[in-house]
Structure 1
Amino acid sequence: MDWDKLRVFHAVAEAGSFTHAGDTLNLSQSAVSRQISHLEESLRVPLFHRHARGLILTEQGEILYQTARDVFAKLATTEAILSEGKDRPKGPLRLTTTVALGSNWLTPRIGAFLELYPEISLTLILNDSELDLSMRQADVALRLTPPRQPDLIQRHLKTIKFHLYAAPSYLKRAGVPRSPADLVDHRLVIYGETAHPPFPNVNWLLDVAAGPRGRPTSVLRVNNYFAMYRAVQTGIGIAALPDYMAREDVNLIRVVPDLEGPQVPAYFVYPEELRHSKRITVLRDFLIQEVAKSQF
């Protein structure tokens, strides 16, 4: 199979059109089209359905695309490892984590890392859904659940604790709950319904607040913790927030202080094939040091 034609095919499958693939490859639309036609002729199967709105992979094209995507992902990993300097780590590094952890804890500290390693080009991808590290959607992740894939390496960083917090304006208006049973009369800000919550039993507060009178009925659902934090700041209600986010906020008050939520472990996760990457090693060591210094 001709390597140049396979590279063009991969670009077309990713872009969904000859024109956009040509822009990526710095080739004309007609040159891209010819390469695909020659590849289809050599394989004797159609790879794309052509229609007015773009291109759709055929069944045979989908099979070839899956293989090509794996090959190019592994090549990108190999290229990155080979390009690292002998003395100092350098090159691109993509780190993904949740919106809350990335916004509140990670981002304020990452400047110090970039000062230490100015030749590393870091990209932060904040997403409450898990990206696929094996498919190189990111190089490394900070996660609140252990990885399910066997080819990922995990390093436990810290255990995150949760407590209840509210703004003074809300407590002045609604009163201060003294026990879990009092929570049924308060507005609770909880994590929104989603197929992929950031950790198991994310809405444990609803179970705690349930009693003889049932579960709380005044509830605001928000689908990430940073937005929940902002909702609490504005006096909307009470939420179970991670301590790293709310503990140092002088404008929030911890309520029912003896009530503690589930302890959630945080992991540093990366693919087995990047085990020897200097960029990942120095990032891991930096984060371990930052966790040790901070009240995470």
Structure 2
Amino acid sequence: MDWDKLRIFHAVADAGSLTHAGDQLHLSQSAVSRQIRALEEALSATLFHRHARGLILTEQGELLFDATRAMMKRLDTATARIRDSEEEVFGELRVTTTIGFGTLWLAPRLPKLYEKFPELKIDLMLEERVLDLPMREADVAIRMKEPSQADLIRKRLMSVHMRLYAAKSYLETHAMPESPADLHDHRLICQNPRSAQVGAGAVLVNELMTYDIPSLLTVNNYYGVLQSVLNNLGIGVLPDYLINDFPQLVPVLPEVESVEVPVFLAYPEELRHSKRIAAFRDFVQEEIIIYRKNMKKQELA
């Protein structure tokens, strides 16, 4: 099958317009139209329904578009691997992780990575939805559970627990709880149990609510929980990876914690030899080592 015709078909299907596709391909509308008609004749199938507002794929068109979309993703992967030089790290790297981990742990550490690789372009995608790495929605992911998608290289980085914290300034004017029952005298700040989050945090919050806590503030991400705690609104349920970076936080009821939450780094098998992936992976692992050393120092202090 003629690749040029497939490339033009993909552009038209993606844009939904002969004119817009022609602009992207630097071709006239008539030239694009001729190529689409020739492709339809070669396949003996109608690929588009044509109407005043644009073009809509037929069932046969959808099948072909699925195929060309997969081909384009594979080409993007091949291009990325080709552009990775023997000794230099440059170009775009799409990293996905949760809002909490991305804003509170990863982003503050990225200056070190940019110092080492100034030509790297990181697209940091923070969301709770698990992106499809094999379909190249992202290049590398850091998730709070082991990825279940096939054809992924995965590396366990560390473990996290959800624990209770308050600001030092808050505890100067409020009594430190001696038992979970004492939480009745404080406002609990936590991620909304119904929002997208790791299950361990939701389970811990539900357990704490059995102590009849009258005042509650829920936020849909840990960044909001942290800011509320730092501004003396109450005692918050937060991941323990924060304690190194926010010395104004004080652990409350250290024996109260969630079950262990594993943190995994993952990327597609086909990007195994990517220099950008290797640079990011090594950077994160080095930062994890520093994080663990700091945690041990705090435990011994």
TM-score relative to the length of structure 1: 0.86
Q: Which amino acid aligns with 1:232?
A: V
Contact in 2 for aligned 1:73/1:136 (Cα 8 Å)? yes
Compared with structure 1, are the counterparts of its residues 185 and 49 closer, same or farther at alpha carbon in structure 2 (3 Å cutoff)?
Answer: farther
2:214 is the counterpart of 1:223? no
> Residue by residue, what CA displacement relative to the aligned partner does 1:29-66 show, whole Å, maximum 9, x if unpaired?
44434433332232222223333444332221211111
Structure 1, unaligned stretches of length 5 or more?
A: none
2:61 partner amino acid = G
Residues 121 and 184 (structure 1 numbering): CA distance in 2 closer, same or farther, change over 3 Å? same
Call closer, same or farther: CA 1:183–1:5 in 2, change over 3 Å.
Answer: farther
Per the alignment, residue 209 of structure 1 pairs with 208
Residue 78 of structure 1 is matched in structure 2 by: 78
Contact 1:184–1:209 (8 Å) recurs in 2: no
Aligned AA (2:204) = L
CA separation of 1:111 and 1:63: change in aligned 2, threshold 3 A: same
Q: Distance in 2 between matches of 1:205 and 1:287?
A: 28
Query: Separation in 2 of the partners of 1:187 and 1:16?
Result: 52
Q: Quick one: which amino acid aligns to residue 283 of structure 1? A: F
Match of residue 32 from structure 1:
32
User: Residue type of the partner of 2:142?
Assistant: L
Which of 234, 238, 254 pairs up with 2:251? Answer: 254
Change beyond 3 A, Cα 1:164–1:31: farther
- Give the stretch that moved more between structures: 41-50 or 286-295: 41-50
Say whether 1:263 aligns with 2:260.
yes
CA offset at residue 189 of structure 1? 2.7
Letter in 1 for 2:240: D
* Cα distance in 2 between the residues matched to 1:261 and 1:22: 56
Q: 1:180 offset after TM fit, Å?
A: 1.8
Structure 2 length normalisation: TM-score? 0.85
Which letter does structure 2 place at the counterpart of 1:192? N
1:73, distance to aligned residue in structure 2 (A):
0.8
Partner of 2:158: 158
* Distance change (3 Å), C-alpha of 1:45 and 1:203: same
Change (3 A) 1:76 1:248: closer
Are the aligned partners of 2:162 and 2:201 in contact in 1 as well (CA < 8 Å)?
no
Deviations 1:141-192 (A, max 9, x none): 1111111112111001111232212346766777543322233554333323
Identify the range of structure 1 (95-104 vs 135-144) with the bigger mean alpha-carbon deviation.
95-104
Taking the aligned partners of 2:53 and 2:174, their CA distance within structure 1 comes to 56
Deviates more, 1:19-28 or 1:131-140: 19-28
Residue of structure 2 in register with 1:92 after alignment: 92
Give the aligned partner of residue 62 of structure 1: 62
Give the match for residue 48 of structure 1.
48
Q: Secondary structure at the match of 1:202?
A: helix
1:122 is matched with 122
Partners of 2:184 and 2:67 in 1: CA distance: 54
* Equivalent residue for 1:276, pick from 273, 277, 288: 273
Q: Which residue of 1 aligns with 2:299?
A: none
Superposed CA deviations along residues 192-231 of structure 1, whole A, max 9, x for unmatched, are 3557x342233123232143x6x54643332222122223
Of all paired residues, the percent bearing the same amino acid is 48
Letter aligned with residue 163 of structure 1? R
Evaluate the alpha carbon distance shift between residue 38 and residue 168 of structure 1 in structure 2; reply closer, same or farther with a 3 A threshold. Answer: same
Provide runs of 4+ in structure 1 moved above 6 Å.
none
What secondary structure does 2:199 align onto?
Answer: coil
Instruction: Indicate the SS of the match to 2:238.
Output: strand
Q: Which amino acid aligns with 1:165?
A: Y
Taking structure 1 as reference, are residues 162 and 38 closer, same or farther at Cα in structure 2, changes over 3 Å only? Answer: same
| Further displaced range: 100-109 or 161-170 | 161-170
The 2-side partners of 1:40 and 1:66 are apart by 16
Distance 1:231 1:88, change over 3 A: same
User: 1:4 is matched with which residue?
Assistant: 4
Q: In structure 2, do the counterparts of structure 1 residues 127 and 26 end up closer, same or farther at CA, with 3 Å as the change threshold?
A: farther
Is the partner of 1:256 in helix, strand or coil? strand
Deviation of the 1:259 alpha carbon = 1.5
**Following the alignment from structure 1 to structure 2, what is the Cα–Cα distance between the partners of residues 113 and 185?**
44
One-letter amino acid of the counterpart of residue 252, structure 2? V
